[in-house]
Amino acid sequence: MLLYSTNNKDNIVDLKTAVLDAFPKDKGLYMPCEIPVLKNNFFNSLSELSFCELSFAVCSKLFKGFIPEKNLEKIIYTSFDFDIPLVELDDNLSILELYHGPTLAFKDFGARFMANLMSFFLSNSNQKRTILVATSGDTGGAVAAGFYNTENINVIILYPSEKVSEMQEKQLTTWGSNIKAIEVLGSFDDCQSLVKEAFLDQDLSSCFQFSSANSINIARLISQSLYYFEAIKKTKNTINDISITIPSGNFGNLTAGLLAREMGLNIKQFIAANNSNNSFTNYIQTGEFLPKPSIQTISNAMDVGNPSNFPRIMNLYGSTWNIIKDIVKAHSISEQETTKYIQEYYTQHKYILDPHTAVGIAATMKNRNNYTNIVLATAHPAKFKETVETLINIDIEIPSELLKLLSKDKRSIRMSNNYEQFKELLMFDTCST
């Protein structure tokens, strides 16, 4: 698989470079030079394949010649060893639960696959990588879990102090070993800026080989495109066109869905569900993209004012708004609507939505028409226990994986959002040893 930079189509690298380095020096994002369309006999036999089998079929087509099949198979089977239920709420509304991985959010798909793929590429080479990752909540936890104790890889996670839930914070700060957490007195955007500046810093690049585990890393998007095949495989009502709703922040998940559609998967439309951070919704409505500072909401993993995957979506469709707005609808959902749906779904369906999935449901309701609707459930409600329990007045059972974490001690380094301070900390830590 060869990939080009969205800032320069002549800047072409192979899969290994794109995965290990995460992004090109020209500050673009890597995109596949070619997206293969899968054959009819693959789609016809989809229902007979397990998730790992279909993932292997898709990935071996994408990665042909760039990774031996037996290694690819191992990467897939060790990355995806959890369930992906499709829960039918009525004839034309189902929820694809992507939160049964170890950190209870869909980010486990991308993080585990990326960790295994990087680890494969680093084995047999003398190279090391330091992964810098800014998180608004869930990415950091999934990345920490995915990379914990992986050889030749250190992980440094930056998260905004007091803007993640207690559960999320435990998932970031209780690891030790090759995982370090930095608590930034500032916003998620501040964390993302610190990371971006560090990547470009010449002094730092003389002692670190940085990589990114944010959704700018193409490995995450490729693995996330796989569960769209699973969604279609499990959908019974295929008389209507299929519409998939994606609770969105940095828009990696939507980009992954668009890649699956380009590979020939039968998805008529996507609905991008924004919370009050509505730059993308405004783009779909007006054709103009204006990034904004992020606003804090209860669906905090989607509090992103300048979605980093936007250039990829532009590149896929030649920046043509008319094409994009035909395939992707978008809605911005208020906090009131979000809480209303959490309450309504519990009363009517006895189904507990987390705030992100509730944003997805609300957006779907604005656009239901004659579609078979699938909403991606991006996190387990227990991750947002306090918020959800207050709204529906029940005790949410905490899955045992999370319960274990709660008894562990938080270990993080608190820091201002000042870049020089961050740099000093990195230099002190690594360059001196």
* Site of interaction with ligand PLP (CB under 6 A): 105, 107, 137-139, 215, 247-253, 301-302, 356, 378-379
306: alpha, beta or left? (left if phi > 0; alpha if psi -120 to 50): beta
375: left (phi over 0), alpha (psi -120 to 50) or beta: beta
381: its two tokens = 């409600």
DSSP, res 36: P
**Rounded to whole angstroms, how far apart are CA atoms 224 and 220?**
6
Of 139 and 281, CB closest to ligand PLP: 139
Would you call 182 exposed, middle or buried from its count of C-beta atoms within 10 A (0-12, 13-18, 19+)?
buried
Query: Whole-number minimum distance, CB 100 to ligand PLP, in Å?
Result: 13
- Amino acid at the residue 213: A
CB of 413 to ligand PLP, least distance (A): 23
Nearest-approach distance from CB 255 to ligand PLP, in angstroms: 8
Strand, coil or helix: 281: helix
Nearer to ligand PLP, 139 or 372 (CB): 139
Minimum separation from the CB atom of position 341 to ligand PLP (A): 15
Nearer to ligand PLP, 253 or 278 (CB): 253
* Residue type for position 137: G
C-beta closer to ligand PLP: residue 204 or 301: 301
Tokens of 159: 């998260």
Q: Which residue has 């494969």 as its token pair?
A: 120
Q: Which residue lies nearer to ligand PLP by CB, 146 or 426? A: 146
Nearer to ligand PLP, 174 or 300 (CB): 300
Q: What is the DSSP letter of 176?
A: B
User: Which residue's CB is nearer to ligand PLP, number 67 or number 362?
Assistant: 362
Residue 41 CB, shortest distance to ligand PLP, in Å, is 31
User: Nearest distance from residue 385's CB to ligand PLP, in Å?
Assistant: 14
Whether the Cβ atoms of residue 171 and residue 103 lie closer than 8 Å to each other: yes
Q: Which is nearer to ligand PLP, 46 or 171 (CB)?
A: 171
**C-beta of residue 114 within 8 angstroms of C-beta of residue 19:** yes
In the complex, the smallest distance separating the C-beta of residue 363 from ligand PLP, rounded to whole angstroms, is: 12
Position with the least CB separation from ligand PLP: 138
The structure tokens 């990939």 sit at 3
Q: How far is the CB of 240 from ligand PLP (least distance, A)?
A: 25
3-state class of 95 per DSSP?
A: strand
Give the length of the chain: 433
CB atoms within 10 A of CB 155: 25
CB of 422 to ligand PLP, least distance (A): 23
Which of helix, strand or coil describes residue 106?
coil
Report the DSSP beta bridge partners of residue 245. Answer: 271, 375
Nearer to ligand PLP, 253 or 387 (CB): 253
- Can you point out the beta strands (E) in 279-344? 328-332
